[in-house]
Amino acid sequence: MSVEPYTQSSLLKSSLKVAKKSDDGVVKAKGLFDHLGGITHLKTPWESLSPMDKKSFETYMVNRFLSMGADNIEIVNIVNQYTNGQLTPREVYKFYLDILPKKKSFNKYIKGKSEDKWDKNVIQYLCKYYEVSSREVLDYLDILTKDEIKSIIVKYGVDPKEIDKWLK
């Protein structure tokens, strides 16, 4: 039984074995969640990543997703200060690999508010009524009930059936 020495070519071969393949057999680079898994629970060394995988490592997105975990937020905050031009992706990867505990975790991604949740007409009428910006109206919409919104817009002569369409 021969043991192949730990060389760069053996690392490349091993990384290609676990590389993603598409339906047509083309090898793909690792995605964001593959990199996160490699850092946190698989503890995949940087040297074992293929050149394509190394290029696909995005420090900003990794920082963003790791910061969603309460355990990691202080570490990510410190690292984030040095990632804009000072640390290379390789250094960031190795730092996280060494610092973060080996565990599989799920961090719920926190999304920002979306104006798409409300119809533009609703926002426009409430802006007129309260004489505030659309940004402030979005805060008001978190507090107001649909009946209150409907009663305000009806004052502008809009058909209640039309308002019901906007509120769905």
pLDDT at 110: 76
Q: For the chain, give the mean pLDDT.
A: 85
Tell me how crowded residue 53 is: count the other CB atoms within 10 A of its CB.
Answer: 24
pLDDT at 102: 93
| Of 9-18, 81-90, 133-142, the least confident | 9-18
Is-contact 128 156, C-beta < 8 A? yes
Q: How far is CA 132 from CA 68, 109, 116, 136, 158, in A?
A: 32, 30, 19, 6, 20
Domain layout of the chain by residue ranges: 8-99, 115-166
pLDDT at 26: 82
The pair phi, psi for residue 148, each rounded to 5°, is: -65, -40
